[in-house]
Structure 1
């Protein structure tokens, strides 16, 4: 092995470790913030400020993207129409908010597996709005993902209270809405690439800028900002969780872009697919989110479909890895 090959291998391992560590920490903090409790045991409070959380995340992502474009990813001028960024940012924002809100009603493994179905609406709306053409094998891989998600979400005939059924149903609806917004975002991005050759760094910068504008407008008009600041005053440790959560996501994106630029989309797709599975496993071990045997089978089915799609479906890496 030559020196350059050894250096390249080490860099790939560093990128893989960066993606795994950053997004594992990202997932742990997301579940801690949205499903945990703050305050005294006799009077606990839950964090319910989804738009404020996303607003902070978008602000830090924007600042991070600005630094990266000025130092590492110099991509020249951007000719993309502002309306494209505004529309895709709105759908991207709604996707993040819906998936974050869903965690108040469903477990984190359910959210991760549900969001793993993202290729479904992206492909459908890509065909309808983005004028994309996909090979037959991609449809087969996506069908495998559909079967796995449906098997995971299937409700066994067990006795539940009406309140639990309502919460579970609403959480799944939020995930479905989030996936729909993901599909619309992907379709608009395809048009941006086709018409303006939009670069990833410019997309990251502008989408986070507009998403921050939209989310901040919502929390100002709705009064959520005042409630959010009051919550932070009562529970200052939550602010550290939010900042750490946002930074983990931003650095995770950096390692994704670095992997794509140096090694191509295939290794990155394999890394991100694998890390999602281990995120589910970590949630089970750390937060006691036990899964039924059927749900384990569904999880393996979903990530098998994602892995095959990454290996043989010629899938491009999403510009924004989440959350989500």
Structure 2
């Protein structure tokens, strides 16, 4: 009976991750790469700090609700400095990733972000003094090979390369910030045994503060509100995207706590793979045969790392 219960819970968790982030990905691409029409004028959504502010605010409220209802956890002793620093790197990673979508298509963003283990390993070695297994290096090399093959451009006009080049720089920055976030989170877990609910709430709360300051003092808030007045559909996209992101985070935390990080890693990697396919189908982001092969290398490396990367040999 308990086996059936466990299997049922796993199906609900993985289905939750798939559905939430699948819809999240479609909305994110529609919002950041789509055209909004106002009479004869068309314009793009460019208010990335305002978008991240909305996402983090919804995540923060959602995490607080979880902490006072279903996810009751003991008192948190984690230093505010850790939360503030990790929130800053987390915020910069999200903003860079969203901004990159103005210059590169969604499959490029997903494949590039799949290279996250690389900077995490570098930071782990340099800052955390970690030693990784030979297998881990092999799997990461497979991921790197896939990303390089995917990103390689042949016979493309210089102007396109310049635009995409800036997008790729933003993706590299996002990966660097992700790796710093992971390094700080490891320290939080090691020193304070920080629980997921507290981490989700406090990181998002600090991110709301930082992004709020930027949105307010840069003048982005007023332009953002005017944009929403001209295009009410964008507000619907942002609200739905933020709710999907918050629910997706909850299903990820639930999967980690109930079935472990390996099961969660397999579910999220599979989801990313389907996201690439969905982007090709829904938004016509066609990939070259070489890029399909590269995508296969990247996700094969991620799957192998999920299953065997933790072993010592």
Same-fold call, TM > 0.5?
A: yes
**Where does residue 193 of structure 2 map in the other structure?**
197
1:283-307 per-residue CA deviation (whole Å, 9 max, x = no partner) reads 0000000000110000000000100
Gaps in structure 1 of 5+ consecutive residues: 316-324
Counterpart mapping for 1:1-324 below 5 A: 3-40=1-38, 42-156=40-154, 158-160=155-157, 162-314=158-310
CA RMSD of the aligned region, Å?
A: 1.2
Q: Distance in 2 between matches of 1:92 and 1:133?
A: 25
Cα contact 2:20–2:248 (8 A) shared by 1:
yes
- Equivalent residues of 1:130, 1:187 under 8 A apart: yes
Structure 1 CA distance for aligned equivalents of residues 210 and 175 of structure 2: 19
**8 Å contact kept, 2:50–2:221:** yes
Provide, for residues 8-54 of structure 1, a one-character-per-residue CA deviation record: whole Å limited to 9, x for no partner: 11111111111110000000000000000112473111000000000
Tell me the distance in 1 between the aligned counterparts of 2:50 and 2:130: 35
- Tell me how far 1:257 sits from its aligned partner: 1.1
Query: What TM-score comes out, normalization by structure 1 length?
Result: 0.94
CA distance in 2, matches of 1:268, 1:87: 25
Distance change >3 Å, CA 108–CA 159, structure 1 → 2: closer
SS at match of 2:41: coil
The whole-number CA distance in structure 1 between the counterparts of 2:297 and 2:140 is: 11
Distance 1:51 1:267, change over 3 A: same
Give aligned pairs, total. Answer: 311
Q: Partners in 1 of 2:310 and 2:73 — Cα distance? A: 24
Secondary structure class of the residue paired with 1:134: coil
Q: Which runs of 5+ in 2 are unaligned?
A: none
Cα deviation for residue 159 of structure 1 reads 4.0
Contact 2:38 2:230 (C-alpha < 8 Å) held by counterparts: no
